[in-house]
Amino acid sequence: MTPPPRARIDESMEALIHHFKIFTEGFKVPPGETYVAVESPRGEIGCYLVSDGSSRPVRMHIRGPSFYNLQSAEPMAEGTLVADAVAIVSSIDPIMGEVDR
């Protein structure tokens, strides 16, 4: 589903109505669940969606790579000095806004 081109919205009432309906009501997806993963520089970003057949998802979860990558800091830090913690965390390169959920 794609909205009509911007130039058509200014010219045609049908295009304006079509644009309005897409962005206010959304579109219906078949019931079920799906997981899609995309590779990023920090790891896998995943999106899990569950639908009941309406235009709004029942459940949506974004899997950020930094949350899972930061869990590897503890095994990497075993037997090292406190000063090595800076190098360990820097090698993981976490985004803390993604980790706090």
Q: What is the pLDDT of residues 31-74, one digit of tens each?
A: 999 999 999 888 899 999 999 998 889 999 998 898 888 889 99
For the whole model, what pTM was predicted? 0.64
Q: 30: which residues sit within 8 A by CB, 6+ positions away?
A: 51, 53
Rounded-to-integer distance, Cα 101 and Cα 87, Å: 24
Q: 50: which residues sit within 8 A by CB, 6+ positions away?
A: 32, 33, 57, 58, 59, 60
Q: Using one digit for the tens of pLDDT, what is the confidence trace for 84-95?
A: 999 999 988 888
Edge to edge, the sheet with strand 43-51 lists 32-40, 43-51, 59-63
Distances (CA, A) of 35 to 46, 47, 50, 61: 7, 6, 9, 9
Residue 99, pLDDT score? 80
More confidently predicted of 23 and 101: 23
